[in-house]
Amino acid sequence: MATRDVRVKQKELFGHPVGLYILFFTEMWERFSYYGMRAILVLYLVSATTEGNAGLGWTQAEALALYGWYTMLVYVASIPGGILADKVFGQKRAVLIGGIILVAGHGILAVEQMWAFYTGLGLIIAGVGFLKPNISTMVGGLYKEGDIRRDKGFTIFYIGINLGAFLSSLIVGYVGENIGWHYGFGLAGIAMALGLIVYLVGQKHLTNVGNLLSKVERDEGASLGNLFQDLFKSPLQLTISMILLGASLVGFYYMGIAYGLLFIFLTLVISMMMMVYKDLTTKVMKDRYVVMLLSFILVIVFWGAFEQAGGLMNIYALDNTDRTLPFSLPLIGNEVPASWFQSLNAMFIIIFGLVVANFWARRKLKNKEASSIFKMATGVIIMGMGFVFMVFAALQFESNGASAMYWLVLAYLFHTIGELCSSPVALSFITKLAPVRYASLMMGVYFAATGLGNKVAGIIGEFASEAGDIAIFSGITIFTVAFATIVLIMLKPLKRLTHGVEDNERELQEQEEYELADVKN
């Protein structure tokens, strides 16, 4: 018996593989469930226990602390989710498992008990960890290397994410604030069930994407156990790991168990990443890997600022913003629910998503600077400038006792344009640079970096009650713009380290799937 490649033309719709749209709608409903719950979580935590729609009555600092930990863990769970996909399940089955766990988690949140609240959050963390990195990796797998449509495909996929987020902020936000918080949580679970159905029905369009690699292919790279065993044979890496572990133990003593465990986890991740680097066999792979790791720092900075949306800016909309309309609307009257401002980001992405993607694609085809690093750094600057409007809002609040809604609208607009330049591009960039045998793991690390950014956002939000909104919003603007400017200054050497991975991208009209078939000689 001999093995040969049989190439099968891939079905396309609107110039992209049909599988993209299956993943689009699966992710749309998953994000509906996640962002719906996210839109009301902090508001539920800070709502008084004596109100008709009673919350938990937590302080702002307590609510933002939990929000930071939760949103961080949601994304950090992508690392074990990616590892299990690479080594045990394959990406396709991992997405299915994650969807099932998410349905259970959101369903349990509908129960009005504290055990159900924490159990539901835990299941959602596990479910997103399985689903999020692997569905994103599957999108990249739909496109051949060098196809400029890959970035566009990720932007279309990203629009699916935000269509779900837009609808959920309006629907789940309204239900949660006006009917009952737990009804909102339950509605999010129904949405996830719909996403799971779409995924199951569309399997025929995902036949050759996300499958578990053969044992030989899986064994090409060292196992994670071997990676850590090899750590003890590498004096430099072992020394760095021991220093970090010592710092983690200090964190245990001074900052408590939660931060101590976080630092130990980060030590393990950093040690693993060092050993993955050592396992790579060529200079090109090693250089690209370094650029990918540096891009993770941009990711942390971006989300550390951007995720004020679900925390500090969400509370700001509730407490400090005049949400009164000059006219009355059905169901809500003349006051806009605070959670509805969460829909602005998603709405702007739906409106401007393809516009921004096409702008960068045209710029690339004209041989103008449009590398992923350039786009990501530009996105951080644009997003950071959005906080200038929050400074104006805070100044108006101090002067008048309330700030106008248009400041939030403008801030979300700039945040969205920055996100469109940075986030979908980062997803695509990882699939270009990541070593194939560590593809899901690297996507997991990317989402873990996103999670760390979320935790940074929570910490910043906690300080707002002491430092004041003006200081926090101004500080975010200055830091993000300065940091991204430094990256732009370093652009040329960083691009050299990618060894031209994006230099020859073009639009490939003929996409093919590869299916291994056994035939007799």
Q: What is the dihedral of CA 107, 66, 405, 180, to 10 degrees?
A: 30
Higher-confidence position of 144 and 417: 417
Judgement on whether residues 240 and 180 belong to the same structural domain of the protein = no
Judgement on whether residues 409 and 294 belong to the same structural domain of the protein = yes
Residue 307 has pLDDT above 70, yes or no: yes
Judgement on whether residues 264 and 349 belong to the same structural domain of the protein = no
Judgement on whether residues 28 and 177 belong to the same structural domain of the protein = yes
Percent of the chain with pLDDT over 70: 87
Which pLDDT band, with edges at 50, 70 and 90, does 10 fall under?
low
Whole-prediction pTM value?
Answer: 0.73
Residue 63 has pLDDT above 80, yes or no: yes
Tens-place pLDDT, residues 332-359: 778 888 878 878 888 888 888 878 888 8
Judgement on whether residues 289 and 303 belong to the same structural domain of the protein = yes
Judge whether 521 lies within some domain.
Answer: no
The predicted model gives 15-30 an average pLDDT of: 82
Judgement on whether residues 358 and 270 belong to the same structural domain of the protein = no
The predicted model gives 268-297 an average pLDDT of: 84
Which pLDDT band, with edges at 50, 70 and 90, does 73 fall under?
confident
Rounded Cα distance, 25 and 160, in Å: 6
Q: Which residue has the tokens 């156990």?
A: 225
Judge whether 1 lies within some domain.
Answer: no
The predicted model gives 145-170 an average pLDDT of: 76
Rounded Cα distance, 301 and 476, in Å: 10
Which pLDDT band, with edges at 50, 70 and 90, does 387 fall under?
very high
Per-residue model confidence (pLDDT) at position 232: 66
Per-residue model confidence (pLDDT) at position 415: 93
Q: Which residue has the tokens 């863990």?
A: 73
Judgement on whether residues 20 and 160 belong to the same structural domain of the protein = yes
Judge whether 71 lies within some domain.
Answer: yes
Judgement on whether residues 289 and 369 belong to the same structural domain of the protein = yes
Give the number of domains in the chain.
2
Tens-place pLDDT, residues 196-239: 998 888 888 777 777 776 665 555 544 556 666 666 667 777 78
Judge whether 515 lies within some domain.
Answer: no
The boundaries of the domain holding residue 271 are 218-279
Domain boundary among 263, 279, 295: 279
Judgement on whether residues 255 and 302 belong to the same structural domain of the protein = no
Instruction: Kindly report the CATH number assigned to the domain that includes residue 466.
Output: 1.20.1250.20
Q: Which residue has the tokens 């837009």?
A: 166
Judge whether 7 lies within some domain.
Answer: no
Judgement on whether residues 180 and 72 belong to the same structural domain of the protein = yes
Rounded Cα distance, 442 and 154, in Å: 17
Judge whether 182 lies within some domain.
Answer: yes
Judgement on whether residues 448 and 381 belong to the same structural domain of the protein = yes
Judgement on whether residues 107 and 166 belong to the same structural domain of the protein = yes
Both tokens of residue 238? 């072992």
Which pLDDT band, with edges at 50, 70 and 90, does 310 fall under?
low
The residues with which 16 forms a beta bridge, in sequence order, are 13
Both tokens of residue 210? 């996300």
Judge whether 3 lies within some domain.
Answer: no
Judge whether 6 lies within some domain.
Answer: no
Count CA atoms within 13 Å of residue 290 on its CB side.
Answer: 13
Which pLDDT band, with edges at 50, 70 and 90, does 410 fall under?
very high
